[in-house]
Amino acid sequence: RSVYVLHGPNLNLLGTRRPEVYGTTTLADLEARCAARAAEHGLEAICRQSNHEGELVDWIHEVGAAARDGRSVGAVVNAGAYTHTSIALHDAVEGSECPVVEVHLSNVHAREPFRHHSFLSPVARGVVVGFGVTGYPLAIDGLVALAGGGPG
Ligand code: DQA
């Protein structure tokens, strides 16, 4: 079984983009950490990044189908700025019944007001915000726990 780790726009720049906000870990390093935590659960991590909203929509549909078939526990999703703008991503998660844990590196609620609203949170199973790269293994643990039958 798999766990997907999906990244949205500008997260390919991780490590050099505003390190005071997002840290110095690169996306490759972060994905390696996710793969390691997934492996502890006996899961394969499928990690992808896109700057294109429609591509993220397609991937959410893919995860939803895989989760329905029992091939995946779902997706850890950091949709970047699309979090705050994308009704399409909201509808993709809802429509495909894709199990999602939403992650943000920074504490979006302590930042600009335009980052306070998320279109994903209402359709996410859980949200991990403000723990930097440490949030990803937490989110993977959370998805596994939820896939095991409930919040605990
Ligand atoms: C982010 C927060 C978003 O507001 C921002 O647009 C990002 C990264 C985070 O991980 O803190 O691209 O999702």
Q: Stretch 47-64: mean pLDDT, rounded? A: 98
CB contact set of 103 (below 8 Å; sequence gap of 6+): 76, 77, 78, 127, 128, 129, 135, 136, 139
How confident is the model over 66-112, as pLDDT tens digits? Answer: 999 999 999 999 999 999 999 999 999 999 999 999 999 999 999 99
Residue whose pair of structure tokens reads 């329905």 in the numeric block: 68
CB contact set of 133 (below 8 Å; sequence gap of 6+): 23, 25, 29, 30, 33, 105
Residue whose pair of structure tokens reads 């930097």 in the numeric block: 132
**pLDDT interval class at 36 (50, 70, 90):** very high
Handedness of CA 7, 53, 89, 61 (dihedral sign): negative
How confident is the model over 17-29, as pLDDT tens digits? Answer: 888 888 899 999 9
> For 2-147, which CATH superfamily applies?
Dehydroquinase, class II (3.40.50.9100)
Nearest ligand 1 atom to the CA of 9 is: 12
Residue 19 confidence (pLDDT): 87
Selecting among 4, 22, 82, 136, the annotated active-site residue is 22
* pLDDT beyond 60 at 151: no
**pLDDT interval class at 152 (50, 70, 90):** low
Residue whose pair of structure tokens reads 């939820």 in the numeric block: 146
Q: Stretch 27-48: mean pLDDT, rounded? A: 98
Residue 85 confidence (pLDDT): 98
**pLDDT interval class at 150 (50, 70, 90):** low
The CA-based dihedral angle spanning residues 56, 62, 65, 70, taken in that order and rounded to the nearest 10 degrees: -110
Q: Stretch 125-139: mean pLDDT, rounded? A: 97
One-character DSSP codes across 87-120: HHHHHHHHHHT--EEEEESS-GGGS-GGGT--SS
ipTM comes to 0.99
CA geometry: angle 56, 14, 112, nearest 5 deg? 80
Whether the model pTM is above 0.90: yes
Pocket test for ligand 1, best of 18, 83, 107, 109 (most atoms within 8 A of CB): 83
